[in-house]
Chain A
Amino acid sequence: MQNRQGWIRILVVALVMSGCAVRPPEAPVEPMTASVELEGSPAMALLQRAESARQQGQGAAAERYLERALNIAPDSSWLYRELADLRLSEGDARGAEGFALKALRLAPDHDDYQASLWEMVATARDRQGDRDGARDARSRAAALRNPVARPV
């Protein structure tokens, strides 16, 4: 009974989708950048300082800048992403995972960005030897990269 209903629903969806197919494709989504969250915020200046400290190999200074930036913009997903990335580059996979998950919690509705965060989680889990966790994170990333295959 339920199965038959399911088939009927798929039929309905297929019809609707065929309608969509002739519509022009949607405009590409703007890539997620720091300025989406931090434009005009003093935290942006600190983020830039952190980036240049990192380029000069000053990890501790970069981290301090990012912590200061978070005090100013505490809900910025991007700043947590930066911290996760910093931790990953410093070999602290556990710390990176925590920050990446926090970044995901605060992330705007942006599939590619969220996928990149899940990929970061996957890398961090891999490095901690958490194969199952990494696989789960990767499949979430894949689903976001390819929304058609995305389970509801």
Chain B
Amino acid sequence: MAKKTNKTPARSRGQAQRKKSPSRKKSAAPRRRWFSWAFVAKLSLVLLVIGAAGLAYLDAMVRERFDSHVWQLPARVYARPVELYEGRVLSREDMLKLLDLMRYRRDAAASTPGSFAVQGSSLLIHTRGFKDSDGGETPKRIRISLSGGQIRNLDAGGDGLARLEPLQIGSIHPQHAEDRVLVPLEKVPPLLVDMLVATEDQSFYEHHGISLRGLARAMVANVKAGGLVQGGSTLTQQLVKNFWLTSERTLSRKLLEMPMAILLELHYSKQEILEAYLNEVYLGQDGARAIHGMGLGAQFLFGRPLEELEPHQLATLVALLKGPSWYDPRRRPERAMERRNTVLRVAMEEGALSKADFDKYSARPLEVVPRGASALYAFPAFIDLVRRQLARDYPPEVLSDEGLNIHSTLDVLAQLASEGALQEHLNNRDPGEKQKLNGAVVVVAPAQGDVLALVSNRNSREAGFNRALDAQRPMGSLAKPAVVLAAVREPKQWSLASLVEDGPIQVKLPNGDVWAPQNFDKQAHGAMPMVDVLAQSRNQATARLGLDVGLDKVAKTMETLGVTRKVPQYPSILLGSLALTPFEVAMMYQPLATGGFSTRLRSITDVLDKEGKPLARYPVSTDEVVEAGPAFLTQWAMQQVVEKGTARSARAYLPKDLKVAGKTGTSDDFRDAWFAGFSANHLAVVWVGRDDNAGAGITGSSGALPVWARLMGKLPQRSLSQTPPNGVEWVWMNPDGQRVSAEGCGDARRFPMMEASIPEDTDGCGSVKQSGKGIKKWFKGLFD
């Protein structure tokens, strides 16, 4: 190899020399032949062929791309539509908040979709309409009266139902960051087209792709400026640039742009070109997201559909075309305002706008919504959950390109209440610059499994680590309801009145260690009814109970409730050594909240295609996993946690008679504070702790419960049912937990009891009538 390289240069040098010498001698002759007419003719022919081939290639390229151009439309995610009906709990304040979030504008007659008027105690709302798997809603005017925190009257025509369209809360583009809202030309306000043509390309309707007049004007400007400052491009050329070419201002690009523009005009109508332009044009950047098209531009700048914009807002969009960054109305309001008014003036000069309208609209402020005020991207934690769910069922390119409409379960009011409660509490507890505590909240409608809210950061607008879905932390005493449930599922052995010894307990582990749990207050309280063990969250008594019931049964109960991780059969699981994410805790508590029915948690209800045709449903489904009796008993015991146990401070935030249930949780060294609890219609899980997993000095009661109580207090709640299911009765029990007693007898207490748990013995006080058990047993004796 090395040899070869040594020889080769010598040989090639020799060959070059041999070739060179004859050409030097005959240098004059070929030069003369170069200019022969025949040669020119041949060359022209070759160039013509090459040119024709090139043109044919360009033509094919233009047609192929334009014809097959599918707009890349990312999947859009919507919150749940707002259902309106008489009797719905909804305050006037919340209703107005919703209208504001959806950018409804005030208009005395509510004449167009997306507007409303306040008329005395009622609201006149012109809804926008939307598509849904049940057909959706058409835009209509409805009248709604709100008082006393609910909808008193709804005049919506038909069968008296109405829905506000769902708020868009995000879009999903996993591969690239191009975003747009497709608007067909017939829905584009004519004034926008008029302004566009007047300012960007006045001869648009006359030229055939390029405008010599425009080009001449641009050249004059360029010569004056001593460089390329103006393109003189027609709208067609601009579209070519956006569609097929890079945005560099090079001569070669310019040379390609012109024939392509002519070819485009040859094949397509002005209307088609306009529509493509309006939907393709680049209007700016929102972080990593490129804003394409007037539809998305309208939403990005004004938070409204393009059809609803007023003239000065349309002019702002047109103003951006000259330089989306230079005229950015948020960062450069003066420049943007000046340019906007130029657009308005040119429109007036071209007859598209009256003098009066010009005066009126050029005096209006920009009215751009502040960045981040849009609901879009406001709920990154929830969108993350939706994205994960979708990724299981749809390939990335479908999500980024096909314009799917995703109807989610998010309840905007529940989400805002959760964010507010977490932030308020943590700002109180952990104020200042160096924030150490953070938290997560999951709110679920337990019966249908709908995830209504998800917060993963005290600064909820920030994306990043999703604590609600990924922070896996020891659940502490949140495990205790599973111990109680495992016990009461064996009614012959256990009832909530059964006494359990709260005192030192030691278990020798297989590895030789000794497990000796301590109580939170380091004290032993002696024998106490099982319900008090839970309400007061006694560690030693829970450990004893769990060991008596059997670790295998407790572990099995946790799995039955919905813990998908393998539950190891260590004694420490009784006190919550198992680490779960807040979302997994919500899964585990969901059957407790519904009396034993397990429902898969869902963040999506429906997927529709870009035209609004239903593609897929994510329906509710439910399985009975815990029998009615034990489920009722466990739920009642968890109510005592709030009534008189470790969570009683929550009562101050809740309506007096509301029956709710829950459990506090604190992990070792006060690292994690938990509260998980529910009413009949909301289950909420709150976790508070530090990302570095250091001791945070907080307990479930002090760290997490206040967040839960605040947020539950802000949402409409229904009480848990106090009617026992078949097979469960209310019984007054003697404090010994082994004899039936009666109301008013000493320290007798009333418990819900499984029939199989009700003792035969009475303490002789009062009568047995109260249980009804005696009569039933008497009848049962007939068949024994």
Contact = CB atoms under 8 A, between A and B. Distances in A.
Interface of A: 2, 5-6, 9-10, 13, 41-42, 45-46, 48-49, 53, 60-61, 63-65, 67-68, 70-72, 74, 83, 94-95, 98-99, 101-102, 105, 151-152
A42 B620 CA distance: 20
Contacts of B779: 9, 152
Contacts of B628: 105
B350 interface: no
Given A13-B782, A72-B83, A61 B622 contact: no
14 contacts: A2-B784, A9-B782, A10-B782, A13-B782, A42-B160, A64-B606, A67-B620, A70-B447, A74-B680, A83-B620, A95-B621, A152-B776, A152-B779, A152-B782
Nearest to B619: A63
Contact of B621 (A6, A42, A46, A98): A98
A151 B782 CA distance: 11
A64 B605 contact: yes
B161 interface: yes
A5 B784 CA distance: 10
Contact of B624 (A74, A95, A101, A151): A101
Contacts of A45: 159-161
A61 B617 CA distance: 10
Most buried by A among B86, B619, B623: B619
A42 B85 contact: yes
A97 B407 CA distance: 27
A10 B614 CA distance: 63
Interface stretch (B128-136, B308-316, B552-560): B128-136
Interface in B577-629: 595, 597, 605-606, 614, 617, 619-624, 628
Given A45-B159, A60-B617, A67-B619, A6 B85 contact: no
Contact of B87 (A42, A53, A99): A42
B122 interface: no
A48 B159 contact: yes
Contacts of B87: 41-42
Interface in B422-479: 445, 447-448
A3 to B, nearest CB: 9
Given A45-B159, A99-B622, A152 B783 contact: yes
B90 to A, nearest CB: 13
Contacts of B445: 71
A99 B448 CA distance: 11
Nearest to B446: A74
B725 interface: yes
Contacts of B776: 152
A98 B624 contact: yes
Interface string B120-155: 000000000000111100000000000000000000
Contacts of A10: 782
B134 A65 contact: yes
A152 B134 contact: no
A74 B681 CA distance: 8
Nearest to A45: B159
Q: Is the interface of B mostly helix, strand, loop or mixed?
A: loop
B778 interface: yes
A10 B778 CA distance: 11
B510 interface: no
B780 interface: yes
Interface in B669-697: 680-681
A60 B622 contact: no
B781 interface: yes
A105 B680 CA distance: 15
A2 B617 contact: no
A9 B643 CA distance: 44
B232 to A, nearest CB: 54
Nearest to B680: A74
A132 B465 CA distance: 48
Contacts of A94: 621, 623
Contacts of A53: 134
Contacts of B161: 42, 45-46
B81 to A, nearest CB: 9
Nearest to A5: B781
Contacts of B447: 70, 74
Given A45-B159, A49-B134, A60-B133, A67 B605 contact: yes
Contact of B132 (A13, A64, A83): A64
A83 B448 CA distance: 12
A64 B782 contact: no
B685 to A, nearest CB: 20
A2 B159 contact: no
B134 A151 contact: no
A151 B617 CA distance: 43
A94 B620 CA distance: 12
Interface in B88-111: 88
A6 B781 contact: yes
A98 B681 contact: no
A42 B83 CA distance: 11
Contacts of B160: 42, 45
B635 to A, nearest CB: 13
A139 B784 CA distance: 20
A45 B84 CA distance: 13
A125 B585 CA distance: 30
A98 B135 contact: no
A68 B781 contact: no
Given A2-B784, A99-B622, A67 B159 contact: no
Interface in B61-87: 83, 85-87
A82 B587 CA distance: 26
B605 A2 contact: no
A152 B83 contact: no
B166 to A, nearest CB: 13
Nearest to A101: B624
